[in-house]
């Protein structure tokens, strides 16, 4: 019997952008700035995913808590990943008490063997959910 270790992660994209966007280059990190309190979608595309990881956890001081991104998520904006990547997606609300700045989004995949980081720029007035 031959035992082969899992290949390391090969993250092609790790981006975030406003919910409802398409997460293209112009409307996702690092090119987009989101407001405190905004809803965002986080997308990670792994060319060599671990075969038994259906979801991953994204952590960031910009979020209220850990975010689970999943395969076959309804939050996947239809990524045109024609390289065979497995897409993980999910959505969260940015904390509304953040000061302007850049915040790390960090995900650990391959059962703790691979760590990837993206940067989320936050600025502007907080989004409010109150309606007149």
Which tens digit of pLDDT belongs to each residue from 80-119?
566 778 899 999 999 999 999 999 999 988 877 888 999 9
**pLDDT in the model for residue 27:** 73
Contact indicator for 59, 44 with CB cutoff of 8 Å: no
Look up the domain containing 79 and give its range. Answer: 11-122
Query: How high is the pLDDT of residue 38?
Result: 95
pLDDT in tens, 13-59: 889 999 887 777 777 778 889 999 999 999 998 888 888 889 999 99
In contact, 19 and 110? CB cutoff 8 Å? no
Would residue 79 count as lying in a domain? yes
How many CB atoms are closer than 10 A to CB 53?
17
Q: Is residue 4 part of a domain?
A: no
The CATH number covering residue 66 comes to 2.60.40
pTM of the full structure: 0.85
Query: What pLDDT does 8 receive?
Result: 65
60-64, 85-89, 125-129 — which is least confidently predicted? 125-129
**56: number of CA atoms within 13 Å, CB side?**
31
Residue 86 located in a structural domain: yes
């Amino acid at each position: 019997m031959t035992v082969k270790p899992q290949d390391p992660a090969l993250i092609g994209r790790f981006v975030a952008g406003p919910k409802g966007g398409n997460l293209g280059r112009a409307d996702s990190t690092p090119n987009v700035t989101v407001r405190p309190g905004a809803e965002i979608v986080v997308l990670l595309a792994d060319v060599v995913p671990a075969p038994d990881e259906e979801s991953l956890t994204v952590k960031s001081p910009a979020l209220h808590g850990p975010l689970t991104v999943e395969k076959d998520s309804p939050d996947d904006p239809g990524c045109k990943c024609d390289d065979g990547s497995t897409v993980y997606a999910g959505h969260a609300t940015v904390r509304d008490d953040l000061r302007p700045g850049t915040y790390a989004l960090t995900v650990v995949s391959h059962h703790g063997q691979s760590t990837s980081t993206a940067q989320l720029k936050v600025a502007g007035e907080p989004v409010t959910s109150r309606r007149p």
